[in-house]
Amino acid sequence: MLSVIRSGALIGVEALPVDVEINTGEEGEYGLWMVGLPDTAVKESEDRVLSALMNTGLRRPEMHTTINLAPGDLRKEGALYDLPIAIGLAVAMRHLEAKQCEGLLLAGELSLSGALRPVRGGVALALLARKLGLRGVLLPKASAQEAALVSNIEAYGVNSLDEAIRFLSGEIPLTPIPIEESPFRRNQKVSGIDFSEVKGQAIARRATEVATAGGHNLLLIGPPGSGKSLIAKRIPTLLPEPNADEFLQILAIQSAAGITRDGSIVSWHRPFRSPHHTISDVGLIGGGSIPGPGEVSLAHHGVLFLDELPEFRRSALEVLRQPLEDGCVTVSRATAKITLPAQVMLVAAMNPCPCGYLGDRLRECRCSPAMVQRYRSRVSGPLLDRIDIQVEAPALSIDELRSAHAGESSTTIRTRVESARAIQRQRFANRSGACNASMTSAELRQYASLERAQGDLLQQAMERLGLSARAYDRVLKVSRTIADLAGSERIATPHLLEAIHYRSLDRRG
């Protein structure tokens, strides 16, 4: 008898449809024969499925049985096909009726006892089911909890093959998991850190507020111990909370990377990723033999923090150009090309020289001009062009460190940031999630136009600092954000001067 069960293949952070076709009762040698480009993990499902069927109280196939994973030109990877294969065999051997599985997309890894283990990509599978017009998904309970956040889809969670069969046969009732019962529901922002803990650094604090308000990339330059990392790690407390669509995208990426598979709960806030400088190109950008998201995609709609920027491999930094410009990463392989989302706010920190004390009032720099030049040349000009705001964070004096005066809290600054973001949401109402940092050339002409005197001023700065055309656009975008923070409809000269001041490395050059 022939049975067909709907499932999906996880490619990058998206799922593509896969039909698990099983035909039993054929003439030929006894056994299961699997076709459809399965990898080793899929081929090994035969042993897991047969053991799970017997431990569930069902007999194993006693004739030649063919299992086809269609389409045949799409490589199938992972253990998520265990459940659909087991259910398909149950239908083929008449333990279940085919109509009882209609309208559902199935996925899950089986243990030998028949218990179900969670799989990667619960959100992606639910989105696929909605795209295919199915009524719901049947997944391991942990995977179904994240799938429940997808609207207009019923997410059923089961703990074992026996429970799945009894549910499909109508023996036991199961209700879809409500969004309210999902552990990934909206919750309070992570607490414990606050921007008021940053002492001094008035210029760096202001630059951080501007960068956060407009989604601009930020580079902090200063000696060791000046508070660069302290500032960067508190940026998430200034960012507005993601909306439902943004959080679903964040959760889909985390799920595809396997972060939620071990029971970890992704909190309802924007991600903050801080990879070590020894990370590989693939680890940072994504890809691999089984293409998956890298750190830049895991920071989607959040912050990617690169501490000690010049210590990263040159090749790793150069591959950041495309995502910083386009908001996505394209990974090409011989068999496929996938696009991963990567709309991030890059925050980087670096020392001014190899020893770290160039310009320090208290310690003498031991580096020659040639050493300083070599150190800074590790970060290419094209990458620096894509960093909108570059500011210095000088070493603090003892008096500043001893001061009990607390700066503005995260709540106070976030109020101003959210007001500026509200202006941008209205300005870019036709583009969800857009902000000033992502303005197109046409939008720049419309929303960041300058008066003649301001244009002459910017031209003089361009000539003196040797700014590129890309840096010119970045100055205009930052100026627009400063004006939004001030509640101004037009860019004023002080807004433009402040934006020019934020090209710190250009001024040094």
Tell which residue, 38, 3, 46, has the closest CA to residue 21. Answer: 3
Are 316 and 278 in contact by the 8 Å Cβ rule? The answer is no
What per-residue confidence (pLDDT) applies to 334?
66
**Same domain, yes or no: 212 and 76:** no
What per-residue confidence (pLDDT) applies to 496?
95
Segment 346-360 mean pLDDT: 92
Beta strand extents in 285-324 (DSSP E only): 286-287, 292-293, 303-306
H/E run at residue 273: strand 272-273
**Same domain, yes or no: 156 and 225:** no
What per-residue confidence (pLDDT) applies to 508?
46
H/E run at residue 330: strand 328-332
Final residue belonging to a domain, choices 433, 452, 479: 433
The single residue listed with the structure tokens 């930020």 is 218
Final residue belonging to a domain, choices 409, 433, 457: 433
Identify which has the larger pLDDT, 433 or 227: 227
The single residue listed with the structure tokens 């992606």 is 124
CA gyration radius, the chain: 27
Query: pTM for the complete prediction?
Result: 0.90
Q: What is the pLDDT of residues 133-165, one digit of tens each?
A: 999 999 999 999 999 999 999 999 999 999 999
Are 460 and 450 in contact by the 8 Å Cβ rule? The answer is no
**Same domain, yes or no: 172 and 199:** no
Q: Is residue 375 part of a domain?
A: yes
Q: What is the pLDDT of residues 26-76, one digit of tens each?
A: 776 777 899 999 998 899 999 999 999 999 999 888 788 999 999 998 889
Q: What is the pLDDT of residues 107-119, one digit of tens each?
A: 999 999 999 999 9
Tell which residue, 128, 147, 107, 122, has the closest CA to residue 15. Answer: 128
Are 18 and 124 in contact by the 8 Å Cβ rule? The answer is no
**Same domain, yes or no: 281 and 145:** no
**Same domain, yes or no: 251 and 382:** yes
User: pLDDT band at 367, cuts 50/70/90?
Assistant: very high
pLDDT higher than 80, residue 336: no
What per-residue confidence (pLDDT) applies to 509?
43
Identify which has the larger pLDDT, 470 or 128: 128
User: Cis peptide leading into 236, omega within 30 of 0?
Assistant: no
**Same domain, yes or no: 163 and 268:** no
The single residue listed with the structure tokens 């028949």 is 114
Whole-angstrom distance, CA of residue 472 vs CA of residue 292: 35
**Same domain, yes or no: 171 and 208:** no
Q: Is residue 509 part of a domain?
A: no
Q: Is residue 456 part of a domain?
A: no
Q: Is residue 93 part of a domain?
A: yes
Q: Is residue 320 part of a domain?
A: yes
What per-residue confidence (pLDDT) applies to 507?
54
> Sheet harboring 389-392: ordered strands across?
272-273, 303-306, 345-350, 218-221, 389-392
Final residue belonging to a domain, choices 433, 453, 481: 433
What per-residue confidence (pLDDT) applies to 187?
60
Q: What is the pLDDT of residues 412-456, one digit of tens each?
A: 999 999 999 999 999 998 887 789 999 998 999 999 999 999 999
Specify the range with the lowest mean pLDDT, choosing from 229-238, 401-410, 488-497. 401-410
Percentage of the chain surpassing pLDDT 70? 96
Whole-angstrom distance, CA of residue 274 vs CA of residue 341: 18
Whole-angstrom distance, CA of residue 137 vs CA of residue 352: 54
Segment 313-332 mean pLDDT: 90
**Same domain, yes or no: 137 and 270:** no
**Same domain, yes or no: 147 and 229:** no
**Same domain, yes or no: 160 and 206:** no
69: domain range?
2-181
CA 447 to chain centre: 29
Q: Is residue 496 part of a domain?
A: no
Q: Is residue 497 part of a domain?
A: no
pLDDT higher than 90, residue 363: no
Specify the range with the lowest mean pLDDT, choosing from 242-246, 286-290, 450-454. 286-290
Segment 241-248 mean pLDDT: 91
CATH number for the domain that contains residue 137? 3.30.230.10
C-alpha angle 282/348/188, rounded to 5°? 90
Percentage of the chain surpassing pLDDT 90? 68
**Same domain, yes or no: 143 and 259:** no
pLDDT higher than 70, residue 22: yes
Are 92 and 3 in contact by the 8 Å Cβ rule? The answer is yes
Segment 383-390 mean pLDDT: 91
CATH number for the domain that contains residue 230? 3.40.50.300
Q: Is residue 474 part of a domain?
A: no
What per-residue confidence (pLDDT) applies to 347?
97
| Domain count for the chain | 2
Whole-angstrom distance, CA of residue 269 vs CA of residue 265: 11
**CA torsion angle 86 91 96 98 (round to 10):** 120
Segment 169-192 mean pLDDT: 78
What per-residue confidence (pLDDT) applies to 268?
85
**Same domain, yes or no: 202 and 113:** no
Q: What is the pLDDT of residues 298-318, one digit of tens each?
A: 999 999 999 999 999 999 999
